[in-house]
């Protein structure tokens, strides 16, 4: 399979958030056939939807991979499991959340992996960090991410100096 470029969002709001994001990044880097191209700064964000819960730490990374979109999703689920991610409540708190946002502009309505991510164009916690690493990015069906009108009021640079490398 020829390499694909993908955008992946990382988030955590339980436990050591920075360690979870770094663990996800390290796990992706250790994946055969996957190269991390760019890593955004870490942002702290208000939770969107769901119950009362702590703020999130979020980052976005770009990768080049020989894995299919489904292969990327499977790897993301493996890493979430390593961080004891449970799926008990939609939009509930989590130790680690890894979302596949875009894979080479592919469009798919597969219920297991919808591409691009169905709510990415509405989420400041995805678009703001993505702009940091790819300001000219285009989201299939929505156009340039720079032109998206989204609420970014709940997105702020990490006050704790969190970063992942």
Q: Which residues are catalytic?
A: 85, 94, 97, 99
What's the start-to-end Cα distance of the chain, in Å?
A: 28
The tokens describing 39, both together, are 């890593």
The tokens describing 84, both together, are 């004891």
Buried-exposed string 121-131: b where 16+ CB fall within 10 A, e elsewhere: bebbbbbbbbb
Residue matched to tokens 């990015």? 137
Residue 147 burial by Cβ neighbours in a 10 Å radius (0-12, 13-18, 19+): exposed
């Amino acid at each position: 399979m020829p390499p694909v470029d993908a955008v992946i969002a990382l988030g955590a709001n339980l436990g050591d958030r920075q360690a979870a994001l770094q663990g996800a990044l390290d796990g992706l880097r250790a994946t055969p056939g996957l190269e991390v191209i760019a890593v955004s700064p870490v942002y702290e964000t208000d939770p969107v939807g769901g119950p009362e819960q702590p703020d999130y730490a979020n980052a976005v990374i770009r990768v080049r991979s020989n894995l299919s979109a489904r292969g990327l999703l499977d790897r993301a689920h493996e890493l979430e499991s390593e961080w004891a991610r449970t799926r008990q409540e939609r939009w509930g708190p989590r130790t680690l959340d890894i979302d596949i946002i875009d894979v080479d502009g592919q469009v798919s309505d597969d219920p297991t992996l919808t591409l691009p991510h169905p709510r990415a164009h509405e989420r400041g916690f995805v678009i703001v960090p993505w702009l940091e690493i790819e300001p000219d990015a285009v989201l299939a069906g929505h156009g340039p991410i720079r032109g998206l009108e989204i609420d970014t009021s709940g997105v702020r640079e990490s006050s704790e100096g969190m970063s992942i490398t």
